[in-house]
Amino acid sequence: MLRGMKKHALVALGALLCAPVLLAQNAGPTPRMADGKPDLSGVWWTGGDLGSPGYNSSRAGSEPVPPYTDLYQPWAREHAATLGDKDDPTLQCHPTAFGTLNVRLFDVGTIGQIISTPQMMVFLQETFHGYQLIPTDGREHRLVPPSFRGDAVGHWEGDTFVVETKNFTDDTWIWAEGRVSIHTDQMRVVERYTRPDANTLLVDATVHDPGALTGPWVVPTQRLVLAPFDQLLPLICTGVETQELMDAAAELAN
């Protein structure tokens, strides 16, 4: 599904694919907001869009991400074994609970955007009009109904921005594209964002789900680089264009 949806984005960005390499060679100091905290603003990716020469180049040599599914409790492992491509929630235009590339900022896509202010962080995804508003004023989590992407609050620990997200629904997956990865509504995600220079964003994440996992799922540091453009392209999903994919997946399962 992702490949088909991203064709127009690949064409528009084709001339910019190698630019992150040049940016990395000329990285300046970490930009700062008016309050002195690092400014995380920018469009971030792994070195290029899907299928480009630079795609995933920023993570070359990185530690492999351990399989989330290795931590399943017996009931979760048994339930996951009954699911397949046709059950993928993203075919209904639902976001992931985490992110297909192990970066929550990306959700189903390969690019994410951050808009920083001293009072609020705004995380934007290119897929499904996704976004997350993260207050940084010390407030507690809201008493609201569970949602696909959960409720997030953030705070600073020195120059590291820490985000805690919880209050998820239990009807999404951690990943997408047929990679079965269920979770429960007890899930809690803690992320740490650090910008060591102008063109680099380091992301660490830990997923806690005592309802489905035997222990925390720790994602090794993911290194992202600043993309050579300042806005995302929308990738809209209505469910209509995915019906053919859902039908095909159902046929394969029979």
Q: What is the pLDDT of residue 250?
A: 63
The single-letter code of the amino acid at 129 is H
The answer to whether residue 42 is domain-embedded is yes
pLDDT of residue 236: 79
Report in angstroms the alpha-carbon separations of 98 from 47, 108, 156, 165, 229: 20, 9, 21, 10, 24
Q: Quick check: is 32 in a domain? A: no
Q: Which domain holds residue 203?
A: 2-13+38-227+234-253
114-168 pLDDT tens trace = 999 999 999 999 888 899 999 999 999 999 999 999 999 999 999 999 999 999 9
Q: Does some domain include residue 78? A: yes
- Region of poorest pLDDT, from 1-5, 67-71, 110-114, 162-166: 1-5
- Bridge partners, 133 (sequence order): 122
Instruction: Give pLDDT, residue 50.
Output: 86
What pLDDT, on a 0 to 100 scale, did the predictor assign at position 23? 45
The pTM of this model reads 0.85
Residue at 42: amino acid letter = G
| In a domain? residue 137 | yes
Q: What is the pLDDT of residues 159-183, one digit of tens each?
A: 999 999 999 999 999 999 889 999 9
Q: What is the dihedral of CA 9, 52, 229, 60, to 10 degrees?
A: 140
Phi and psi angles of residue 130, each rounded to the nearest 5 degrees, phi first: -75, 145
DSSP state of 97: S
φ/ψ (deg, to 5) at 174: -65, -45
Residue 25 lies in a domain: no
Of the segments 26-40, 78-92, 199-213, which one has the largest average pLDDT value? 199-213
Report the distance separating Cα 213 and Cα 76, nearest Å. 8
Q: Is residue 160 part of a domain?
A: yes
pLDDT of 240 > 90? The answer is no
Q: Is residue 33 part of a domain?
A: no
| Residue 183 backbone phi and psi in degrees, to 5 | -150, 175
Spacing of C-alpha 67 from chain mean position: 16
Domain count, the chain: 1
Three-class SS of residue 201?
strand
**155 in a structural domain:** yes
